[in-house]
Amino acid sequence: MHRHPTLFLTLALSLLAGCAALPGPSTGDRGTSPTATPSNPQAATPSAAANAVLSATPQSASLLPVEIDAPKFHTLDLTLHADDLWDRIRTGFAIPNMSSPLVVDQQAWYLSHQDSLQRAVERSSHYLYHVVEELEKRGLPTELALLPFIESAYNPMAYSRAHASGMWQFIPTTGKNYNLQQDWWHDDRRDVVASTDAALNYLEMLYQMHGDWTLALASYNWGEGAVKRAIDRNAAAGRPTDYLSLNMPEETRNYYPKLQALKNIIANPEAFGVVLPRIDNQPYFATVPRSHDIDIRTAARLADMPVEDFKALNPSFNRPVISASTDAMLLLPADRVAVFETNLQGNSQPLVTWVAYTAKRGDRLDRIASKFGMSVASLCEANSLTSRSRVKPGQALLVQNHSVPTHALVQTAVLAPVQEEKIIRASYAPDTDVRHAATVYAVRRGDTLFSIAKHFGTSVEALKAQNGLGSTALSLGQRLTLPSTLLAISQPSTVKGRGH
Protein backbone atom coordinates (compact mmCIF):
# COMPACT_ATOMS: atom_id res chain seq x y z
CA MET A 1 0.00 0.00 0.00
CA HIS A 2 1.18 3.53 -0.69
CA ARG A 3 -0.17 7.08 -0.73
CA HIS A 4 0.04 8.76 -4.15
CA PRO A 5 2.07 11.98 -3.99
CA THR A 6 -0.49 14.18 -5.77
CA LEU A 7 -3.85 15.14 -4.36
CA PHE A 8 -5.37 15.22 -7.89
CA LEU A 9 -4.63 11.57 -8.59
CA THR A 10 -5.63 10.61 -5.06
CA LEU A 11 -9.01 12.21 -5.56
CA ALA A 12 -9.42 10.54 -8.94
CA LEU A 13 -8.57 7.14 -7.51
CA SER A 14 -10.89 7.78 -4.57
CA LEU A 15 -13.73 8.50 -6.97
CA LEU A 16 -13.09 5.28 -8.84
CA ALA A 17 -12.94 3.37 -5.58
CA GLY A 18 -16.23 4.90 -4.55
CA CYS A 19 -17.83 3.90 -7.86
CA ALA A 20 -16.63 0.34 -7.52
CA ALA A 21 -17.77 0.20 -3.91
CA LEU A 22 -21.27 1.40 -4.48
CA PRO A 23 -23.97 -1.16 -5.11
CA GLY A 24 -25.61 -1.27 -8.62
CA PRO A 25 -37.49 0.18 -16.66
CA SER A 26 -42.40 1.89 -17.10
CA THR A 27 -41.42 5.00 -18.60
CA GLY A 28 -44.25 7.13 -17.37
CA ASP A 29 -44.83 9.56 -20.19
CA ARG A 30 -42.33 8.04 -22.59
CA GLY A 31 -42.57 4.27 -22.84
CA THR A 32 -40.81 1.06 -21.96
CA SER A 33 -38.61 -1.50 -23.52
CA PRO A 34 -37.70 -5.10 -23.17
CA THR A 35 -34.57 -4.80 -21.04
CA ALA A 36 -31.63 -6.90 -20.07
CA THR A 37 -32.84 -6.95 -16.45
CA PRO A 38 -35.93 -8.56 -14.93
CA SER A 39 -38.77 -6.57 -13.41
CA ASN A 40 -37.78 -7.95 -9.99
CA PRO A 41 -34.00 -8.22 -10.10
CA GLN A 42 -33.87 -8.57 -6.30
CA ALA A 43 -35.08 -12.11 -6.76
CA ALA A 44 -31.95 -13.03 -8.69
CA THR A 45 -29.27 -14.79 -6.66
CA PRO A 46 -25.69 -13.75 -7.40
CA SER A 47 -23.03 -16.36 -7.91
CA ALA A 48 -20.53 -17.20 -5.19
CA ALA A 49 -17.95 -15.06 -6.95
CA ALA A 50 -20.35 -12.15 -7.10
CA ASN A 51 -21.14 -12.53 -3.41
CA ALA A 52 -17.45 -12.49 -2.63
CA VAL A 53 -16.99 -9.27 -4.55
CA LEU A 54 -19.98 -7.64 -2.91
CA SER A 55 -19.07 -8.71 0.60
CA ALA A 56 -15.57 -7.31 0.16
CA THR A 57 -16.86 -3.97 -1.14
CA PRO A 58 -17.51 -0.98 1.16
CA GLN A 59 -21.01 0.44 1.12
CA SER A 60 -20.33 4.14 0.65
CA ALA A 61 -18.16 6.38 -1.49
CA SER A 62 -15.83 9.00 -0.04
CA LEU A 63 -14.16 11.98 -1.63
CA LEU A 64 -11.47 12.05 1.08
CA PRO A 65 -7.94 10.91 0.19
CA VAL A 66 -7.56 7.20 0.90
CA GLU A 67 -4.74 4.71 0.66
CA ILE A 68 -5.26 2.48 -2.36
CA ASP A 69 -3.38 -0.52 -3.61
CA ALA A 70 -2.73 1.00 -7.04
CA PRO A 71 -2.40 -2.24 -9.05
CA LYS A 72 -6.01 -3.14 -8.21
CA PHE A 73 -7.46 -0.04 -9.85
CA HIS A 74 -7.72 1.20 -13.41
CA THR A 75 -5.97 4.57 -13.21
CA LEU A 76 -6.58 7.30 -15.76
CA ASP A 77 -4.45 10.14 -17.06
CA LEU A 78 -7.03 12.78 -17.94
CA THR A 79 -4.48 14.67 -20.04
CA LEU A 80 -4.12 11.85 -22.56
CA HIS A 81 -6.41 10.96 -25.45
CA ALA A 82 -8.29 7.75 -24.62
CA ASP A 83 -7.86 4.97 -27.15
CA ASP A 84 -10.52 2.87 -25.41
CA LEU A 85 -14.02 4.37 -25.34
CA TRP A 86 -14.59 2.98 -21.84
CA ASP A 87 -11.76 5.20 -20.52
CA ARG A 88 -13.38 8.20 -22.18
CA ILE A 89 -16.70 7.35 -20.56
CA ARG A 90 -15.12 6.93 -17.11
CA THR A 91 -13.49 10.35 -17.22
CA GLY A 92 -16.86 11.96 -17.89
CA PHE A 93 -18.73 10.49 -14.91
CA ALA A 94 -20.20 13.48 -13.07
CA ILE A 95 -23.43 12.45 -11.31
CA PRO A 96 -23.01 12.04 -7.51
CA ASN A 97 -22.92 8.39 -6.51
CA MET A 98 -25.86 6.75 -4.80
CA SER A 99 -25.24 4.33 -1.94
CA SER A 100 -28.22 2.07 -1.30
CA PRO A 101 -29.06 -1.62 -0.89
CA LEU A 102 -31.05 -1.19 -4.10
CA VAL A 103 -27.77 -0.60 -5.93
CA VAL A 104 -26.25 -3.71 -4.34
CA ASP A 105 -29.21 -5.75 -5.59
CA GLN A 106 -28.82 -4.43 -9.12
CA GLN A 107 -25.08 -5.16 -9.12
CA ALA A 108 -25.83 -8.68 -7.96
CA TRP A 109 -28.20 -9.18 -10.87
CA TYR A 110 -25.73 -7.95 -13.48
CA LEU A 111 -22.95 -10.06 -12.00
CA SER A 112 -25.11 -13.18 -12.11
CA HIS A 113 -26.23 -12.42 -15.68
CA GLN A 114 -22.95 -11.45 -17.27
CA ASP A 115 -23.90 -13.15 -20.55
CA SER A 116 -26.77 -10.67 -20.99
CA LEU A 117 -24.51 -7.78 -20.09
CA GLN A 118 -21.84 -8.92 -22.54
CA ARG A 119 -24.31 -9.19 -25.41
CA ALA A 120 -25.68 -5.71 -24.71
CA VAL A 121 -22.16 -4.30 -24.57
CA GLU A 122 -21.25 -5.94 -27.87
CA ARG A 123 -24.39 -4.53 -29.48
CA SER A 124 -23.65 -1.06 -28.10
CA SER A 125 -20.29 -0.97 -29.87
CA HIS A 126 -22.03 0.28 -33.04
CA TYR A 127 -23.72 3.21 -31.32
CA LEU A 128 -21.86 4.08 -28.12
CA TYR A 129 -19.24 6.38 -29.65
CA HIS A 130 -21.92 8.55 -31.22
CA VAL A 131 -23.83 8.84 -27.93
CA VAL A 132 -20.69 9.76 -25.97
CA GLU A 133 -19.71 12.30 -28.62
CA GLU A 134 -23.12 13.98 -28.41
CA LEU A 135 -23.04 14.03 -24.60
CA GLU A 136 -19.63 15.71 -24.55
CA LYS A 137 -20.73 18.31 -27.11
CA ARG A 138 -23.48 19.32 -24.66
CA GLY A 139 -21.32 19.04 -21.54
CA LEU A 140 -23.57 16.31 -20.10
CA PRO A 141 -22.46 13.51 -17.73
CA THR A 142 -21.28 10.42 -19.59
CA GLU A 143 -23.30 8.21 -17.23
CA LEU A 144 -26.19 9.02 -19.56
CA ALA A 145 -24.50 6.92 -22.26
CA LEU A 146 -25.37 3.91 -20.09
CA LEU A 147 -29.09 4.69 -20.09
CA PRO A 148 -29.89 2.73 -23.30
CA PHE A 149 -28.48 -0.38 -21.61
CA ILE A 150 -31.39 -0.10 -19.18
CA GLU A 151 -34.00 1.07 -21.66
CA SER A 152 -33.35 -1.35 -24.51
CA ALA A 153 -30.06 -3.20 -23.99
CA TYR A 154 -28.87 -0.86 -26.78
CA ASN A 155 -31.27 -2.42 -29.26
CA PRO A 156 -32.64 0.30 -31.59
CA MET A 157 -35.44 -2.08 -32.63
CA ALA A 158 -36.75 -2.60 -29.09
CA TYR A 159 -40.54 -2.24 -28.87
CA SER A 160 -42.79 -2.27 -25.82
CA ARG A 161 -46.42 -2.97 -25.04
CA ALA A 162 -46.80 0.76 -24.41
CA HIS A 163 -45.73 1.33 -28.05
CA ALA A 164 -42.37 2.74 -26.98
CA SER A 165 -39.74 2.19 -29.63
CA GLY A 166 -36.01 2.53 -30.19
CA MET A 167 -32.97 2.33 -27.98
CA TRP A 168 -34.15 5.42 -26.03
CA GLN A 169 -37.76 4.13 -25.87
CA PHE A 170 -40.04 6.96 -26.99
CA ILE A 171 -43.78 6.47 -27.25
CA PRO A 172 -45.39 8.12 -30.32
CA THR A 173 -46.64 11.26 -28.56
CA THR A 174 -43.40 12.16 -26.81
CA GLY A 175 -41.46 11.30 -29.94
CA LYS A 176 -43.64 13.70 -31.88
CA ASN A 177 -43.09 16.38 -29.22
CA TYR A 178 -39.35 16.02 -29.82
CA ASN A 179 -39.61 16.13 -33.61
CA LEU A 180 -39.23 12.41 -34.22
CA GLN A 181 -41.04 11.76 -37.51
CA GLN A 182 -43.25 8.66 -37.59
CA ASP A 183 -44.97 7.68 -40.80
CA TRP A 184 -45.62 4.74 -43.10
CA TRP A 185 -42.06 4.76 -44.40
CA HIS A 186 -39.95 5.73 -41.47
CA ASP A 187 -39.89 5.93 -37.66
CA ASP A 188 -37.33 8.35 -36.22
CA ARG A 189 -37.73 6.81 -32.77
CA ARG A 190 -35.59 3.98 -34.11
CA ASP A 191 -33.17 6.31 -35.92
CA VAL A 192 -29.93 6.19 -33.94
CA VAL A 193 -28.92 9.80 -34.66
CA ALA A 194 -32.36 11.44 -34.44
CA SER A 195 -33.49 9.55 -31.32
CA THR A 196 -30.23 10.30 -29.49
CA ASP A 197 -30.63 14.01 -30.20
CA ALA A 198 -34.25 13.90 -28.98
CA ALA A 199 -33.39 11.92 -25.85
CA LEU A 200 -30.64 14.34 -24.84
CA ASN A 201 -32.96 17.31 -25.45
CA TYR A 202 -35.52 15.64 -23.21
CA LEU A 203 -32.98 14.81 -20.50
CA GLU A 204 -31.65 18.37 -20.52
CA MET A 205 -35.17 19.69 -20.06
CA LEU A 206 -35.78 17.30 -17.14
CA TYR A 207 -32.54 18.32 -15.45
CA GLN A 208 -33.41 22.00 -15.81
CA MET A 209 -36.77 21.22 -14.21
CA HIS A 210 -35.35 19.42 -11.16
CA GLY A 211 -31.71 20.50 -10.88
CA ASP A 212 -30.93 16.91 -9.89
CA TRP A 213 -29.98 14.07 -12.22
CA THR A 214 -31.56 11.31 -10.13
CA LEU A 215 -34.92 13.09 -10.24
CA ALA A 216 -34.46 13.88 -13.93
CA LEU A 217 -33.92 10.19 -14.64
CA ALA A 218 -36.86 9.21 -12.46
CA SER A 219 -38.91 11.56 -14.64
CA TYR A 220 -37.52 9.98 -17.80
CA ASN A 221 -38.77 6.64 -16.53
CA TRP A 222 -42.01 7.58 -14.77
CA GLY A 223 -42.89 10.93 -16.34
CA GLU A 224 -42.10 14.45 -15.18
CA GLY A 225 -45.66 15.05 -14.01
CA ALA A 226 -45.69 11.95 -11.81
CA VAL A 227 -42.34 12.81 -10.22
CA LYS A 228 -43.38 16.41 -9.56
CA ARG A 229 -46.56 15.23 -7.82
CA ALA A 230 -44.53 12.83 -5.67
CA ILE A 231 -42.16 15.66 -4.73
CA ASP A 232 -45.05 17.99 -3.91
CA ARG A 233 -46.68 15.34 -1.69
CA ASN A 234 -43.48 14.85 0.29
CA ALA A 235 -42.89 18.59 0.57
CA ALA A 236 -46.44 19.16 1.83
CA ALA A 237 -45.95 16.45 4.47
CA GLY A 238 -42.59 17.84 5.56
CA ARG A 239 -40.69 14.81 4.24
CA PRO A 240 -37.44 14.83 2.21
CA THR A 241 -37.85 15.13 -1.55
CA ASP A 242 -34.75 13.26 -2.73
CA TYR A 243 -34.98 10.22 -5.02
CA LEU A 244 -34.84 7.56 -2.29
CA SER A 245 -37.45 9.37 -0.16
CA LEU A 246 -40.16 9.56 -2.82
CA ASN A 247 -43.04 7.11 -3.07
CA MET A 248 -42.53 5.68 -6.55
CA PRO A 249 -43.48 2.50 -8.43
CA GLU A 250 -41.02 -0.35 -7.90
CA GLU A 251 -39.71 -0.06 -11.43
CA THR A 252 -38.87 3.62 -11.04
CA ARG A 253 -37.40 3.03 -7.59
CA ASN A 254 -34.96 0.58 -9.16
CA TYR A 255 -34.32 2.69 -12.26
CA TYR A 256 -31.48 4.90 -11.09
CA PRO A 257 -29.94 2.11 -8.97
CA LYS A 258 -29.64 0.14 -12.22
CA LEU A 259 -27.70 2.99 -13.77
CA GLN A 260 -25.51 3.31 -10.68
CA ALA A 261 -24.82 -0.43 -10.72
CA LEU A 262 -23.70 -0.27 -14.34
CA LYS A 263 -21.58 2.78 -13.56
CA ASN A 264 -19.87 0.96 -10.71
CA ILE A 265 -19.11 -2.09 -12.82
CA ILE A 266 -17.81 -0.06 -15.76
CA ALA A 267 -15.77 2.22 -13.46
CA ASN A 268 -13.82 -0.76 -12.15
CA PRO A 269 -14.70 -3.97 -14.02
CA GLU A 270 -11.70 -5.87 -12.63
CA ALA A 271 -13.01 -5.50 -9.08
CA PHE A 272 -16.24 -7.19 -10.13
CA GLY A 273 -14.64 -9.90 -12.25
CA VAL A 274 -16.10 -8.42 -15.43
CA VAL A 275 -14.23 -8.25 -18.74
CA LEU A 276 -15.49 -5.43 -20.96
CA PRO A 277 -14.93 -5.94 -24.69
CA ARG A 278 -12.72 -3.15 -25.99
CA ILE A 279 -14.51 -0.44 -27.98
CA ASP A 280 -12.22 1.82 -30.00
CA ASN A 281 -12.60 5.51 -29.31
CA GLN A 282 -13.44 6.35 -32.91
CA PRO A 283 -16.65 6.60 -35.00
CA TYR A 284 -18.17 3.29 -36.02
CA PHE A 285 -20.54 4.76 -38.62
CA ALA A 286 -20.83 7.71 -40.96
CA THR A 287 -23.84 9.30 -42.69
CA VAL A 288 -24.46 9.10 -46.43
CA PRO A 289 -27.02 11.33 -48.23
CA ARG A 290 -29.59 9.80 -50.59
CA SER A 291 -31.09 11.16 -53.81
CA HIS A 292 -33.02 8.09 -55.04
CA ASP A 293 -35.29 5.44 -53.62
CA ILE A 294 -33.29 2.32 -52.95
CA ASP A 295 -34.06 -1.21 -51.81
CA ILE A 296 -32.57 -2.13 -48.45
CA ARG A 297 -30.96 -5.21 -49.99
CA THR A 298 -29.56 -3.16 -52.85
CA ALA A 299 -28.06 -0.63 -50.44
CA ALA A 300 -26.44 -3.42 -48.44
CA ARG A 301 -25.07 -4.98 -51.62
CA LEU A 302 -23.57 -1.69 -52.79
CA ALA A 303 -21.93 -1.25 -49.38
CA ASP A 304 -20.62 -4.81 -49.61
CA MET A 305 -22.02 -5.72 -46.22
CA PRO A 306 -24.57 -8.23 -44.86
CA VAL A 307 -28.19 -7.10 -45.00
CA GLU A 308 -28.56 -7.73 -41.27
CA ASP A 309 -25.65 -5.41 -40.49
CA PHE A 310 -27.13 -2.72 -42.72
CA LYS A 311 -30.50 -3.00 -40.98
CA ALA A 312 -28.83 -2.78 -37.56
CA LEU A 313 -27.52 0.68 -38.50
CA ASN A 314 -30.69 1.73 -40.32
CA PRO A 315 -33.53 0.32 -38.20
CA SER A 316 -35.83 3.31 -38.68
CA PHE A 317 -37.03 2.29 -42.14
CA ASN A 318 -40.36 0.46 -41.99
CA ARG A 319 -40.32 -0.92 -45.54
CA PRO A 320 -38.01 -3.04 -47.69
CA VAL A 321 -37.42 0.04 -49.85
CA ILE A 322 -36.09 3.34 -48.52
CA SER A 323 -37.99 6.30 -49.88
CA ALA A 324 -35.98 9.35 -50.92
CA SER A 325 -38.89 11.50 -49.71
CA THR A 326 -37.78 10.99 -46.09
CA ASP A 327 -35.13 13.27 -44.63
CA ALA A 328 -33.21 10.47 -42.96
CA MET A 329 -29.65 9.74 -44.02
CA LEU A 330 -28.21 6.28 -44.51
CA LEU A 331 -25.80 5.10 -41.85
CA LEU A 332 -22.90 2.92 -42.99
CA PRO A 333 -19.81 1.61 -41.22
CA ALA A 334 -17.13 4.26 -41.66
CA ASP A 335 -14.99 1.86 -43.68
CA ARG A 336 -17.87 1.07 -46.07
CA VAL A 337 -18.75 4.62 -47.19
CA ALA A 338 -16.17 4.83 -49.99
CA VAL A 339 -17.10 1.33 -51.18
CA PHE A 340 -20.79 2.27 -51.28
CA GLU A 341 -20.22 5.50 -53.21
CA THR A 342 -17.93 3.83 -55.74
CA ASN A 343 -20.34 0.94 -56.33
CA LEU A 344 -23.30 3.31 -56.57
CA GLN A 345 -21.60 5.34 -59.30
CA GLY A 346 -20.79 2.21 -61.28
CA ASN A 347 -24.12 0.49 -60.68
CA SER A 348 -26.17 -0.48 -63.75
CA GLN A 349 -28.86 -2.53 -61.98
CA PRO A 350 -32.21 -1.22 -60.69
CA LEU A 351 -31.90 0.56 -57.36
CA VAL A 352 -35.51 -0.19 -56.50
CA THR A 353 -37.76 -3.15 -57.28
CA TRP A 354 -40.73 -2.04 -55.17
CA VAL A 355 -43.55 0.07 -56.60
CA ALA A 356 -46.97 1.30 -55.52
CA TYR A 357 -50.02 -0.67 -56.70
CA THR A 358 -53.55 0.69 -56.43
CA ALA A 359 -56.04 -2.04 -55.56
CA LYS A 360 -59.05 -2.52 -57.83
CA ARG A 361 -62.54 -3.71 -57.04
CA GLY A 362 -62.49 -7.44 -56.30
CA ASP A 363 -58.77 -7.55 -55.50
CA ARG A 364 -57.66 -9.83 -52.71
CA LEU A 365 -54.26 -10.22 -51.13
CA ASP A 366 -53.71 -13.65 -52.69
CA ARG A 367 -54.59 -12.35 -56.17
CA ILE A 368 -52.32 -9.32 -55.84
CA ALA A 369 -49.47 -11.47 -54.53
CA SER A 370 -49.87 -13.92 -57.40
CA LYS A 371 -49.96 -11.11 -59.95
CA PHE A 372 -46.55 -9.87 -58.83
CA GLY A 373 -44.98 -13.26 -58.13
CA MET A 374 -44.97 -12.71 -54.38
CA SER A 375 -46.13 -14.79 -51.46
CA VAL A 376 -49.04 -13.52 -49.40
CA ALA A 377 -46.76 -13.47 -46.37
CA SER A 378 -44.20 -11.18 -48.04
CA LEU A 379 -46.94 -8.89 -49.33
CA CYS A 380 -48.40 -8.62 -45.84
CA GLU A 381 -45.01 -8.02 -44.24
CA ALA A 382 -44.16 -5.23 -46.67
CA ASN A 383 -47.46 -3.46 -45.91
CA SER A 384 -47.95 -4.25 -42.19
CA LEU A 385 -51.03 -6.34 -42.94
CA THR A 386 -52.28 -9.74 -41.82
CA SER A 387 -53.51 -12.51 -44.07
CA ARG A 388 -57.07 -11.64 -42.98
CA SER A 389 -56.77 -7.99 -44.01
CA ARG A 390 -59.32 -6.91 -46.59
CA VAL A 391 -58.17 -4.81 -49.51
CA LYS A 392 -60.33 -1.83 -50.42
CA PRO A 393 -60.64 -0.38 -53.92
CA GLY A 394 -58.21 2.49 -54.29
CA GLN A 395 -55.98 1.25 -51.47
CA ALA A 396 -52.28 1.59 -52.31
CA LEU A 397 -49.96 -1.32 -51.59
CA LEU A 398 -46.23 -1.77 -51.88
CA VAL A 399 -45.47 -4.62 -54.30
CA GLN A 400 -42.29 -6.00 -55.78
CA ASN A 401 -41.76 -5.71 -59.51
CA HIS A 402 -38.35 -6.72 -60.85
CA SER A 403 -39.09 -5.27 -64.30
CA VAL A 404 -39.15 -1.61 -63.20
CA PRO A 405 -36.64 0.80 -64.83
CA THR A 406 -33.39 1.54 -63.04
CA HIS A 407 -34.46 4.91 -61.64
CA ALA A 408 -38.21 4.37 -61.31
CA LEU A 409 -39.20 5.92 -58.02
CA VAL A 410 -41.88 4.59 -55.69
CA GLN A 411 -44.95 6.81 -55.76
CA THR A 412 -44.91 7.75 -52.10
CA ALA A 413 -47.79 10.21 -52.29
CA VAL A 414 -50.41 7.58 -53.01
CA LEU A 415 -49.46 5.30 -50.15
CA ALA A 416 -51.80 5.91 -47.23
CA PRO A 417 -50.00 6.35 -43.90
CA VAL A 418 -50.73 3.90 -41.11
CA GLN A 419 -51.82 5.32 -37.76
CA GLU A 420 -48.81 6.12 -35.58
CA GLU A 421 -49.78 3.57 -32.95
CA LYS A 422 -49.77 0.88 -35.63
CA ILE A 423 -46.26 1.61 -36.90
CA ILE A 424 -44.12 -1.18 -35.51
CA ARG A 425 -40.94 -2.96 -36.42
CA ALA A 426 -42.58 -4.69 -39.37
CA SER A 427 -40.45 -7.54 -40.70
CA TYR A 428 -37.27 -5.62 -41.17
CA ALA A 429 -35.66 -5.98 -37.76
CA PRO A 430 -31.89 -6.52 -37.70
CA ASP A 431 -31.09 -10.19 -37.34
CA THR A 432 -28.43 -9.74 -34.67
CA ASP A 433 -27.43 -12.22 -31.97
CA VAL A 434 -30.66 -14.19 -32.38
CA ARG A 435 -29.00 -17.38 -31.18
CA HIS A 436 -28.96 -15.97 -27.66
CA ALA A 437 -32.37 -14.29 -27.70
CA ALA A 438 -35.47 -15.53 -25.94
CA THR A 439 -37.08 -17.95 -28.41
CA VAL A 440 -40.12 -19.31 -26.57
CA TYR A 441 -43.15 -17.37 -25.39
CA ALA A 442 -45.86 -18.68 -23.05
CA VAL A 443 -49.33 -17.39 -23.93
CA ARG A 444 -50.93 -15.27 -21.23
CA ARG A 445 -54.48 -14.17 -20.57
CA GLY A 446 -55.63 -11.65 -23.16
CA ASP A 447 -52.94 -12.56 -25.70
CA THR A 448 -53.77 -12.95 -29.39
CA LEU A 449 -51.51 -13.95 -32.23
CA PHE A 450 -51.74 -10.39 -33.50
CA SER A 451 -50.72 -8.83 -30.16
CA ILE A 452 -47.81 -11.26 -29.79
CA ALA A 453 -46.65 -10.66 -33.36
CA LYS A 454 -46.90 -6.90 -32.86
CA HIS A 455 -44.96 -6.98 -29.59
CA PHE A 456 -42.09 -9.00 -31.05
CA GLY A 457 -42.04 -7.22 -34.39
CA THR A 458 -43.08 -10.13 -36.56
CA SER A 459 -46.23 -11.18 -38.43
CA VAL A 460 -49.12 -13.48 -37.63
CA GLU A 461 -48.24 -15.56 -40.69
CA ALA A 462 -44.67 -15.97 -39.50
CA LEU A 463 -45.83 -17.10 -36.05
CA LYS A 464 -48.29 -19.56 -37.56
CA ALA A 465 -45.69 -20.97 -39.92
CA GLN A 466 -43.09 -21.25 -37.16
CA ASN A 467 -45.48 -23.15 -34.87
CA GLY A 468 -47.50 -25.11 -37.44
CA LEU A 469 -50.75 -23.40 -36.47
CA GLY A 470 -53.80 -23.85 -38.64
CA SER A 471 -55.78 -21.09 -36.98
CA THR A 472 -55.27 -18.08 -34.75
CA ALA A 473 -56.83 -19.76 -31.69
CA LEU A 474 -54.57 -19.84 -28.61
CA SER A 475 -54.81 -21.49 -25.21
CA LEU A 476 -53.55 -20.15 -21.89
CA GLY A 477 -50.00 -21.30 -21.24
CA GLN A 478 -49.45 -22.48 -24.82
CA ARG A 479 -45.77 -22.17 -25.75
CA LEU A 480 -44.93 -20.49 -29.03
CA THR A 481 -41.55 -20.57 -30.69
CA LEU A 482 -40.62 -17.12 -31.95
CA PRO A 483 -39.35 -16.79 -35.52
CA SER A 484 -35.57 -16.83 -35.72
CA THR A 485 -35.48 -13.34 -37.25
CA LEU A 486 -36.51 -11.76 -33.97
CA LEU A 487 -34.12 -9.86 -31.77
CA ALA A 488 -35.57 -10.32 -28.30
CA ILE A 489 -33.82 -8.55 -25.44
CA SER A 490 -35.21 -10.36 -22.44
CA GLN A 491 -37.65 -13.02 -21.42
CA PRO A 492 -41.16 -11.95 -22.52
CA SER A 493 -42.51 -12.37 -18.99
CA THR A 494 -40.36 -9.43 -17.84
CA VAL A 495 -41.75 -6.94 -20.35
CA LYS A 496 -44.17 -4.43 -18.87
CA GLY A 497 -46.10 -1.65 -20.53
CA ARG A 498 -45.42 1.97 -19.64
CA GLY A 499 -45.98 5.21 -21.46
CA HIS A 500 -43.67 8.28 -21.95
Mean pLDDT rounded to a whole number for the chain:
77
Which of 50-59, 259-268, 472-481 is least confident? Answer: 50-59
* Cβ 378 vs Cβ 359: under 8 Å: no
pLDDT at 191: 96
Please compute the mean of the pLDDT values over residues 10-14 and round it to a whole number.
38
> In which band, very low, low, confident or very high, does the pLDDT at 404 lie, cut at 50, 70 and 90?
low
- Please state, for a pLDDT cut of 90, what percent of the chain lies above it: 51
Q: What is the pTM of this model?
A: 0.68
Please compute the mean of the pLDDT values over residues 147-157 and round it to a whole number.
96
Which of 268-272, 460-464, 480-484 is least confident? Answer: 480-484
Nearest Cα neighbor of 383 from 430, 320, 326 is: 320
Helix %, strand %, coil % for the chain, to 5?
Answer: 45, 10, 45
> In which band, very low, low, confident or very high, does the pLDDT at 489 lie, cut at 50, 70 and 90?
very low
- The count of other CB atoms within 10 Å of the CB of residue 351 is 23
> In which band, very low, low, confident or very high, does the pLDDT at 74 lie, cut at 50, 70 and 90?
very low
Nearest Cα neighbor of 36 from 485, 494, 482 is: 494
Is the model's pLDDT at 143 over the cut of 90?
yes
> In which band, very low, low, confident or very high, does the pLDDT at 182 lie, cut at 50, 70 and 90?
very high
> In which band, very low, low, confident or very high, does the pLDDT at 53 lie, cut at 50, 70 and 90?
very low
* CA–CA gap between residue 86 and residue 164 (Å, rounded): 28
Please compute the mean of the pLDDT values over residues 125-137 and round it to a whole number.
98
**Which candidate in 67, 134, 143, 151 is catalytic?**
151
Is the model's pLDDT at 284 over the cut of 50?
yes
Q: Which residues pair with 182 in a beta bridge?
A: 187
Specify the higher pLDDT residue, 155 or 59.
Answer: 155
- DSSP-derived letter for residue 374 is -
Please compute the mean of the pLDDT values over residues 95-119 and round it to a whole number.
96
Is the model's pLDDT at 376 over the cut of 80?
yes
* Cβ 202 vs Cβ 174: under 8 Å: yes
Specify the higher pLDDT residue, 434 or 298.
Answer: 298
Nearest Cα neighbor of 257 from 99, 398, 486, 377 is: 99
- Please state, for a pLDDT cut of 70, what percent of the chain lies above it: 71
pLDDT at 330: 94
Please compute the mean of the pLDDT values over residues 490-500 and round it to a whole number.
36
pLDDT at 30: 53
Q: Cα torsion at 209, 213, 214, 218 (round to 10°)? A: 50
Q: Which residues pair with 159 in a beta bridge?
A: 165
Which of 18-22, 114-118, 214-218 is least confident? Answer: 18-22
pLDDT at 145: 98
pLDDT at 80: 52
Is the model's pLDDT at 448 over the cut of 50?
yes
Please compute the mean of the pLDDT values over residues 277-284 and round it to a whole number.
96
For this structure, is 151 an active site residue?
yes
Specify the higher pLDDT residue, 168 or 326.
Answer: 168
Please compute the mean of the pLDDT values over residues 96-107 and round it to a whole number.
97
Q: Cα torsion at 115, 118, 120, 124 (round to 10°)? A: -170
Is the model's pLDDT at 425 over the cut of 50?
no
Contacts by residues 201-206 (CB-CB < 8 Å, ≥ 24 positions apart): 202/30, 202/174, 202/178, 203/140, 203/144, 204/138, 204/140
Q: Which residues pair with 439 in a beta bridge?
A: none
CA distances from 477 to 341, 437, 444, 451, 480 (A): 51, 20, 6, 15, 9
pLDDT at 473: 81
Specify the higher pLDDT residue, 454 or 287.
Answer: 287
Please compute the mean of the pLDDT values over residues 180-184 and round it to a whole number.
90
Which of 24-38, 202-216, 258-272, 325-339 is least confident? Answer: 24-38
Please compute the mean of the pLDDT values over residues 309-336 and round it to a whole number.
90
Q: Which residues pair with 186 in a beta bridge?
A: 317
pLDDT at 483: 64
Please compute the mean of the pLDDT values over residues 133-143 and round it to a whole number.
98
Which of 43-47, 150-154, 201-205, 266-270 is least confident? Answer: 43-47
> In which band, very low, low, confident or very high, does the pLDDT at 464 lie, cut at 50, 70 and 90?
confident
Q: Which residues pair with 381 in a beta bridge?
A: none
Q: pLDDT by residue (tens digit) across 328-340? A: 789 999 999 999 9
Is the model's pLDDT at 236 over the cut of 70?
yes
Domains defined for the chain, CATH in brackets: 7-272 (no CATH), 285-344 (no CATH), 354-403 (3.10.350.10), 434-494 (3.10.350.10)
Please list the alpha-helical segments (H only) found in 66-164: 85-91, 101-112, 114-124, 128-138, 147-152
Q: pLDDT by residue (tens digit) across 304-313? A: 999 999 999 9
pLDDT at 260: 98
> In which band, very low, low, confident or very high, does the pLDDT at 452 lie, cut at 50, 70 and 90?
confident
HSE at residue 409, side-chain half, CA atoms within 13 A, is 11
Is the model's pLDDT at 38 over the cut of 90?
no
pLDDT at 402: 65
The 3-state DSSP class for residue 9 equals helix
pLDDT at 202: 97
Is the model's pLDDT at 434 over the cut of 60?
no
HSE at residue 309, side-chain half, CA atoms within 13 A, is 14
* CA–CA gap between residue 204 and residue 218 (Å, rounded): 13
